[in-house]
Amino acid sequence: MPKSLYVHVPFCEQICHYCDFNKFYLKNQPVDEYLELCRQEMEHTISTFPSGPVSTIYVGGGTPTSLSTEQLKFLLESIKNTFPLEADPEWTVEVNPGSAEEEKLAMLQETGVNRLSIGAQTFDKDLLKTINRDHQPGDIETTVELSHKAGIHNLSVDMMFGLPNQTMEQWTDSLLEITRLPIQHISAYSLKVEEKTVFYQLLRKGKLPLPGEESEAAMYEYMQEKLQEHQFVHYEISNFAKEGYESRHNLTYWNNQEYYGAGAGAHSYTDGVRRVNHGPLPKYMKAVSENRLPYLEEHPVSIKEQMEEQMFMGLRKLEGVSLKEFHNRFGRQVTDVFEGAVQHLLNRGLLEISGDRIKLTKNGLLLGNEVFEQFLLTD
């Protein structure tokens, strides 16, 4: 039974060059109509897949804070009025530095939001321009200060490394800046060039000068060391948290648990079926207005796929996968189901077994995708 909810706001005032999420320029979009239909989709969803109290909510995008204060409040109130919530759910909203003014942040806190994910990416003004972000380095600290003033103290900041022409000096400077901030969580991802992005087109033309794999690995290892010095616990490949501030919502995904999804392009996992909503606004809105759930794809997840996902999602966590939990869930031992893969990866020094846990080694963290591929079972 799902205990987590993701809601997608697909509107942006500016499109980042690396972003392949479902998004549209805000100007001239039917935002109010979209929000009303999103409310209707949520009502239809909860009546079709009833749930106990929801324990985590994540409103992402796009840029949720590109909405007006009134529009965003309508969406948040729709969530509160539709889903049963636990007494103290983790409620996260993605925030863009520069588009989260004092009034909007106060409204978030008053409505029940208690965690923000701030999209900083870098503190270098030239790199911000390169990736087409619409904020300045100083806006990040201002957003943190205003969030605290509004009464929201559980703050996560997103960072990126391996950016075009990014130097180690730029990366170390950004890490120095972020560790000065009163925040509890950091998500830091290396740039992955996806199709249908500006960066992909530049890469195809040979006009995207990226750091090499060795430089990227050095940035990652330096980040591990530096954040640990500042009491950030490395608990997932790309995520670090002060003790007790791990992302409960993202742990839903990494623990391979079910979740609701609402909005254009949103994903969901209910009753053993993974679903993807229509992405284009006209298709999404037409489906909901016709009182249909707006699914583009529905995929029943086989036991084989569940076992695969349990491994390559669970191994993202530094604590790894519990051998006992795997056996309790599937009635089989990890070492039997994936005998060849486990032994191969143990021999390569990419996995280790410690007590009840099977987990990535330090080298395995650097080669995570290679490890995960080994857990795809042949038919």
- What is d(CA 35, CA 337) in angstroms, rounded to the nearest whole number? 45
- What pLDDT, on the 0 to 100 scale, is given for residue 374? 95
State pLDDT tens for residues 192-226: 999 989 999 999 999 999 999 999 999 999 999 99
Q: Is the pTM of this model over 0.85?
A: yes
% the chain with pLDDT above 90 = 92
State pLDDT tens for residues 16-36: 988 888 888 889 999 999 999
Given a contact cutoff of 8 angstroms between Cβ atoms, the answer to whether 1 and 258 are in contact is: yes
Mean pLDDT, the chain, rounded, equals 96
Q: Which domains does the chain have, with CATH numbers?
A: 4-254 (3.80.30.20), 303-373 (1.10.10.920)
Q: Judge whether residue 156 has pLDDT over 90.
A: yes
Phi, psi of 51 (to 5 degrees): -140, 160
Given a contact cutoff of 8 angstroms between Cβ atoms, the answer to whether 53 and 86 are in contact is: yes
Torsion angle, alpha carbons of 98, 104, 110, 115, to 10: -20
Phi, psi of 309 (to 5 degrees): -65, -35
Distances (CA, A) of 328 to 72, 316, 334: 42, 20, 11
Amino acid found at 56 = T
Q: Does 281 or 14 have the greater pLDDT score?
A: 281
For residue 173, give the H/E element and its range: helix 168-179
Given a contact cutoff of 8 angstroms between Cβ atoms, the answer to whether 7 and 265 are in contact is: no
Average pLDDT rounded to a whole number, residues 321-349: 96
- What is d(CA 316, CA 193) in angstroms, rounded to the nearest whole number? 20
- What is d(CA 168, CA 12) in angstroms, rounded to the nearest whole number? 30
- What pLDDT, on the 0 to 100 scale, is given for residue 22? 82
For residue 82, give the H/E element and its range: helix 69-82
Residue 179's Cβ-count burial label (10 Å; 0-12, 13-18, 19+) is: middle
User: Given pLDDT bands bounded at 50, 70 and 90, which one contains residue 366?
Assistant: very high
Q: Judge whether residue 379 has pLDDT over 70.
A: no
Using CA of residue 233, residue 235, residue 236, residue 237, what is the dihedral sign?
positive
- What pLDDT, on the 0 to 100 scale, is given for residue 348? 96
Using CA of residue 215, residue 219, residue 224, residue 225, what is the dihedral sign?
positive
User: Given pLDDT bands bounded at 50, 70 and 90, which one contains residue 378?
Assistant: confident
- What is d(CA 265, CA 285) in angstroms, rounded to the nearest whole number? 11
- What is d(CA 182, CA 231) in angstroms, rounded to the nearest whole number? 12
State pLDDT tens for residues 73-128: 999 999 999 999 999 999 999 999 988 899 999 999 999 999 999 999 999 999 99
